[in-house]
Structure 1
Amino acid sequence: MEFFVEWGYAGLFVLSFLAATVLPVGSEPLLLLMLTQGFKPMWCLVSATIGNTLGGATSYYIGHLGKWEWIEKYLKIKQEKILSFQHRIESYGVWVALLTWLPLIGDPIAIALGFFRITWWKVVIFMFIGKMLRYYLLIFSYEISGL
Structure 2
Amino acid sequence: MISYLGLWLAAFLAATLLPAQSEAVLAALLVAGDHPAAALIAVATFGNVLGSLVNWVLGRSLLRWQNARWFPVNDRQLDRAQGWYRRYGRWSLLGSWLPIVGDPLTLVAGVMKEPLIPFLLLVTCAKGLRYIILAGLVLAWI
Q: From the superposition, tell whether residues 18 and 117 of structure 1 become closer, same or farther in structure 2 (CA, over 3 Å).
A: same
User: 1:8-87 maps to which residues of 2 (within 5 A)?
Assistant: 8-38=3-33, 39-67=35-63, 68=65, 77-79=72-74, 80-87=76-83
User: 1:116-131 maps to which residues of 2 (within 5 A)?
Assistant: 116-131=112-127
Q: From the superposition, tell whether residues 88 and 58 of structure 1 become closer, same or farther in structure 2 (CA, over 3 Å).
A: same
Contact 1:17-1:52 at 8 Å conserved across structures? yes
Superposed CA RMSD: 2.1
The aligned amino acid for 1:89 is: Y
Secondary structure at the aligned position of 2:18 is classed as coil
Q: Structure 1 regions of 5+ residues with no counterpart? A: 1-5
Identity of aligned residues (%): 29
CA drift of 1:10 comes to 1.8
Q: Structure 2 regions of 5+ residues with no counterpart? A: none
Q: Match of 1:88?
A: 84
CA drift of 1:7 comes to 1.2
Contact 1:83-1:112 at 8 Å conserved across structures? no
Q: From the superposition, tell whether residues 22 and 8 of structure 1 become closer, same or farther in structure 2 (CA, over 3 Å).
A: same
Provide TM-score, normalisation by structure 1.
Answer: 0.84
Does residue 142 (structure 1) correspond to residue 138 (structure 2)? The answer is yes
- 2: CA distance between counterparts of 1:9 and 1:110? 24
- 1: CA distance between counterparts of 2:98 and 2:138? 19
Contact 1:16-1:26 at 8 Å conserved across structures? yes
Which deviates the most, 135-144 or 77-86?
77-86
Q: How many residues align?
A: 138
